[in-house]
Amino acid sequence: MRIPILALLLAGVVVMEGQSPFDPLLREQLGKLFPDAASFSPKEGSPPHFKAFAGNGDIVGFAFWTTELEPLERGYDGPIQVLVGVDLDAELTGIIVARHHEPYGYFSIDTPEYGAQFVRKSVRDRFRVGADIDSVATATITVRSATRAVRNGARRIARQFLSPDGGLR
């Protein structure tokens, strides 16, 4: 049993190395968050983030994985991995719910309606589930956890990289 596990481990490492910065799927997801961006940085910095660049090399926004900025946040069963884009006006450009283990995720956070609520939402806004974000009566834990992760992660990025007056700090 030990050898297959080691083989799997090795395969995992190889896959991880192979896809790290320019994984096409990741590139596509970043492109969805920043349709106008010309290129993206690999993941870098602390907190870990991606930068989106315009054609002339200016930064147009930041993207991050909630699981890396809010690693302690848990849904019903584990972290909910969401890719979030924040532009220089500190507004969310969108979110992509990439992976989770939520049993009731398929009708709550996996729906396009859930993600659509975050588009052009400012990090200054409130993110109360039930008032600002639609609640799903039977999937409360899931929706609340995902929403908290998005909000707190985006605010962390804003504090770190953005000026409240707009633009970079």
Interface with another protein in residues 127-146 (CB under 8 A): 127-128, 137-141, 144-145
Instruction: With CB under 8 A as the rule, give the number of residues binding another protein.
Output: 77
Residue 88 interacting with another protein (CB under 8 A): no
Q: CA geometry: angle at 163 spanning 158 and 168, to 5°? A: 90
> CA-CA distance, 138 to 36, in Å (whole number)?
37
Distance of CA 117 to the CA centre of its chain: 14
Paired tokens of 159 = 């504090």
Write out the binding residues for another protein, residues 100-119 only, by CB under 8 A. Answer: 101-104, 106-107
Residues 21-80 touching another protein, rule: CB under 8 A, are 23, 25-26, 29, 41-48, 51, 53, 57-59, 65, 67-68, 70-79
Considering the complex, what minimum distance in angstroms separates the CB of residue 92 from another protein? Answer: 14
What's the 3-state SS for 21-41? CCCHHHHHHHHHHCCCCCEEC
Residue 42 or 119 with smaller CB distance to another protein = 42
Amino acid at 88: L
